Amino acid sequence: MRQEKKQVTDISDRPVIRNLADVDPVRAQQVAALRAHALSDPEAFWLEQAQRIDWATFPTAASAASFDGDVSIRWYEDGTLNASVSCLDRHLETRGDQPALIWQADDAAVSRTLTFRELHAEVCRLANALRGLGVKRGDRVAIHLPMVVEGVAAMLACARIGAIHVVLFGGFSPEGIGERLIDSGAVAVITCDFSRRGAKRIPHKTTVDAALAHAGTIGAVKNVIVVQVTGDAVPMTEGRDHDYTTLVSPQETECAPEIMRAEDVLFLLYTSGSTGKPKAMVHATGGYMVWAACTTDWTLSPQPGKIHWCTADIAWITGHTYVVYGPLLSGTTTLIYEGLLGWPQPGRWWDIVDRYQVSCLYTAPTAIRALMRDGDDVPREYSLASLERLACAGEPISPDAWEWFYTVIGQQRCPVADMWWQTETGGGMLCVIPGAQPMKPGWATTPLPGLSAVLTNEKGEIIEGATEGALCFTQSWPGQARTIWGDHKRFRETYFTFSPGKYFAGDGARRDENGYYMITGRMDDVINVSGHRIGTAEIEDALATCHSVSEAAAVGINHDLKGQGIVVFVVARSAKVAPPVDELSRVICERVGRYAAPERIYLVKDMPKTRSGKIVRRLLRKIASGETENLGDLSALADPAVIPALIAAVGEQTITG
């Protein structure tokens, strides 16, 4: 199944840099050549990158994408492949007995390691079981699992038989899951009895049952496969529900991969948009895999034999690209952890890093902030000497959180790749290529090779030089989502009408004189106060410089005179020392401008967050505006109990900045 291989320039095997500004001349020169090639001959460049993965038929052409008119995005169209082959089969000969996947259970004494051969066998067994249930090429299969081996196996098993996986977040409500089952037309669900969240048990099976009841006859689900995670009894519906082990263990350990066209859909992944209706981004097999391979290699330098730990849940795009596909493609060992950050005690993550000798740690700024809150003494009890590479993504990282990550965790030895990207982009977009260019704390730095980032003004016109504007891309890249499942019109209108002919990311960004980009936040979070546009991230960054502040979120509320006013929610670093509100206001005025002075500052215990750690500003905005009812769907919140506490805090405090 493997085609003749030409050598793709390997930039991964270069020394790790020691200082922010350190650059390895050889690596810098290789990356410069890569960028130059992408500019001078994009077609040849992208075909060269396609060699990073295994194809049944190597494509003869790269891009056939157009952002004009109806918008049509297609890559490597005449190529054929199976994604699971590049993650598993390609390694069997050379490193079949090396670990592919390590699972660390919530219980520190329990773990499981699967070699590439064992993971291949597990995937094949499940793939055969799915085929046996009548699941076929193009069918959608929903996966509703916590961080367990079967979650990774389920994604790859779907890929194996050409079924489209739809991983659904464990915290969605039954209605939320039901809606997504209807929208995707899923024919099967792979779930479990319960999952563990610290001392709590989260019911998955009964949630799926309720979701199926919600979907009713519009739903297409015929089979439900239930993994035993906690082993607790759950109701099983005769003829529909199957115990995973009973179904899967007797199956054959070989399963012929379904050969897919490059443009066949590999997965759907739901993400939130500006409206309440969930939208499933559609990712195509060939291009997504190539982009996962490029971005993992350029930014994270995975090596076979080393341990890669991306802490994202597989229900998010980061979990897809940097827990499953990217690392496995590269032959490195990917580690997954079932448990919570800081559970049962602070330092749990650092124990995992030392225990498994983790080389690359990829996480989210929100986790970094939570870890910072524990204090420096906690990580200092651990060696962390195995770490070589750090990465973060998902939201802007403030310079002080970046410094902490770099200094306390990376011990000023490990470069930090701050990677900006989206569910829509499939893989990293703006990111430092460590060793090839200096890092800049708080800046996602430059577009990766082959990408054409531009900034536009609010009319969608390109603006040049050191400036601030809307982040757009003028050319397609292989990992780009092809459409929104079942709603191409919404896809076109959301992303391609702001600046016709360009992909509009929805984020604002600042660019410096060296062409480095810093994300200022979602454009929908931009607050316009008396005609001044203020990024919530700017205010939050300012507050992040206050030692007494652990986390801050700014939202815009309607204001009679100014159009919008700013309300700030602040979590104190220590429960004992409340940050002085006057001081916070002064810092904002100083760092951003007087026009950014907040109307109100609320001290709160916790922010409303999704389980992937994003602050749900929509709720803060409503609560700040005095709305305590009709807060909408709270099912994606990590802890819905935060809401009454927030409402109470806003009711009790009338602090004016």
Residues in touch with ligand PRX (CB under 6 A): 271, 317-318, 393-396, 418-423, 444, 505-507, 519, 522
- Residue with Cβ nearer ligand PRX (113 or 271): 271
| Count of all residues that appear for the chain in the document | 657
- On whether the CB atoms of residues 436 and 11 are closer than 8 A, the answer is yes
- Residue with Cβ nearer ligand PRX (248 or 314): 314
Closest contact distance (angstroms) between CB of 8 and ligand PRX is 25
Closest contact distance (angstroms) between CB of 615 and ligand PRX is 11
What is d(CA 256, CA 22) in angstroms, rounded to the nearest whole number?
47
What is d(CA 376, CA 381) in angstroms, rounded to the nearest whole number?
9
Closest contact distance (angstroms) between CB of 28 and ligand PRX is 22
Q: How far are the Cα atoms of 398, 604, 606, 628, 639 from residue 644, in angstroms, in the given order?
A: 28, 11, 11, 9, 11
What is d(CA 362, CA 323) in angstroms, rounded to the nearest whole number?
9
Closest contact distance (angstroms) between CB of 170 and ligand PRX is 16
What is d(CA 641, CA 608) in angstroms, rounded to the nearest whole number?
9
72, amino acid identity: S
Q: Which of 302, 339, 305 is nearest to 324 (CA)?
A: 302
- On whether the CB atoms of residues 282 and 484 are closer than 8 A, the answer is yes
Closest contact distance (angstroms) between CB of 444 and ligand PRX is 5
- Residue with Cβ nearer ligand PRX (330 or 445): 445
- Residue with Cβ nearer ligand PRX (129 or 168): 168
411 CB neighbour count, 10 Å cutoff: 14
Closest contact distance (angstroms) between CB of 345 and ligand PRX is 28
Closest contact distance (angstroms) between CB of 390 and ligand PRX is 13
Closest contact distance (angstroms) between CB of 77 and ligand PRX is 26
Closest contact distance (angstroms) between CB of 474 and ligand PRX is 18
- Residue with Cβ nearer ligand PRX (241 or 313): 313
Closest contact distance (angstroms) between CB of 506 and ligand PRX is 6
Main-chain dihedrals φ then ψ at residue 95, nearest 5 degrees? -145, 35
Q: Which of 645, 652, 567, 647 is nearest to 606 (CA)?
A: 645
Helix (H, G, I), strand (E, B) or coil at 548: coil
Q: Which of 23, 162, 554, 638 is nearest to 370 (CA)?
A: 638
Burial class (CB in 10 A: 0-12, 13-18, 19+), 110: exposed
Closest contact distance (angstroms) between CB of 481 and ligand PRX is 10
- On whether the CB atoms of residues 71 and 496 are closer than 8 A, the answer is yes
How big is the CA angle at 195 (ends 191 and 198), to the nearest 5 degrees?
165
Q: For the chain, give me the number of helices (H) and strands (E)?
A: 21, 29
- Residue with Cβ nearer ligand PRX (58 or 495): 495
**Exposure string over 80-100, b if 16+ CB within 10 A, otherwise e:** bbbbbbbbbbbbeeebbebbb
- Residue with Cβ nearer ligand PRX (206 or 452): 452
On the question of a cis peptide bond just before residue 344, with omega within 30 degrees of 0, the verdict is: yes
- Residue with Cβ nearer ligand PRX (384 or 505): 505
Closest contact distance (angstroms) between CB of 641 and ligand PRX is 23
What is d(CA 169, CA 177) in angstroms, rounded to the nearest whole number?
9
Residues 6+ apart with CB under 8 A from 222: 133, 134, 187, 188, 240
Render 42-111 in DSSP notation, one character per residue: HHHHHHHHHTTS--SB--S--B--B-STT-B--BSTT-EE-HHIIIIIHHHHHHTTSEEEEEE-SSTT-E
Long-range contacts made by residues 61-68, C-beta under 8 angstroms, separation at least 24?
62/478, 63/476, 63/478, 65/475, 65/476, 65/480, 67/474, 67/476, 67/496, 67/501, 67/502, 67/503, 68/500, 68/501
What is d(CA 495, CA 500) in angstroms, rounded to the nearest whole number?
9
- Residue with Cβ nearer ligand PRX (423 or 499): 423
- Residue with Cβ nearer ligand PRX (123 or 393): 393
Q: Where are the alpha helices (DSSP H) in 306-347?
A: 317-319, 326-330
Closest contact distance (angstroms) between CB of 542 and ligand PRX is 16
- Residue with Cβ nearer ligand PRX (406 or 420): 420
- Residue with Cβ nearer ligand PRX (244 or 309): 309
116-132 and 149-161 helices, crossing angle to 10°? 60
Closest contact distance (angstroms) between CB of 382 and ligand PRX is 26
Closest contact distance (angstroms) between CB of 418 and ligand PRX is 5
